[in-house]
Amino acid sequence: MKVFKTILLCMLALCIANPVFAIQKKQTAKVLKAEGPVQIKLVAEKNWIDAKPGTELGENDIVRTRKNSTVIIGLNGNGKIAEIELKENSQLMFLELVKDNERKTQNTLLDLAAGEAVIKTHDLAGIDSKFEIKTPTSAVAVQEGSASFSIKVERLD
């Protein structure tokens, strides 16, 4: 029992002393507005659920829209980092949502598998901050500052 306590204390001390464990945290995204049939596949869930304003999203969660539907998603909960408007017949996955408090940077990686997204980034802090969105045929990245752009995946068949 003494050995176990000693090992546990050492591990705890290493975690506290090592800033890598303390500075990076996962960000969240939040559904701000949903119109029409919009569904979410949370990584911890087996089935798709209907999107509702206030629903939180994390890494590896997927949002999809159907015909005549749109959804607006705020990154970092209320859209402080970016706002994403997903147009009809689209599917978007959140691959990476990380914030580094010590370096004051954010890294976001999204995967637009189908459809169209309109993106507005807001004041990405630090030269090492990055907002990326990839598609099956391209990638767009924003570093530092603000930007607005639209990206569309055309059907290849």
For residue range 117-128, what is the model confidence (pLDDT) as tens digits? Answer: 999 988 766 667
> Predicted confidence band at 17 (pLDDT cuts at 50, 70, 90)?
very low
What is the average per-residue pLDDT within 141-149? 79
| Residue 96 belongs to some domain of the structure | yes
Tell how strand 105-124 and strand 145-153 pair up.
antiparallel
| Residue 14 belongs to some domain of the structure | no
Query: Half-sphere exposure of residue 153, counting CA atoms within 13 Å on the CB side?
Result: 23
| Residue 115 belongs to some domain of the structure | yes
| Residue 79 belongs to some domain of the structure | yes
pLDDT tens figures, 68-82: 999 999 987 555 778
**Average pLDDT of the residues of the chain:** 82
| Residue 10 belongs to some domain of the structure | no
Q: What are the φ and ψ backbone dihedral angles of 137, each rounded to 5 degrees?
A: -125, -5
> Predicted confidence band at 93 (pLDDT cuts at 50, 70, 90)?
very high
Closest C-alpha to 85, from 71, 96, 75: 71
| Residue 145 belongs to some domain of the structure | yes
Task: Give me the domain span that covers residue 84.
Answer: 23-153
Lowest mean pLDDT segment, chosen from 29-33, 60-64, 137-141: 137-141
| Residue 6 belongs to some domain of the structure | no
Per-residue pLDDT at 128: 72
Per-residue pLDDT at 99: 77
- Per-residue DSSP letters for 10-39? HHHHHHHH-HHHHHEEE--EEEEEEESSEE
CB 65 within 8 A of CB 115: yes
Per-residue pLDDT at 18: 47
Per-residue pLDDT at 22: 43
Q: In the chain, how many domains are there?
A: 1
| Residue 37 belongs to some domain of the structure | yes
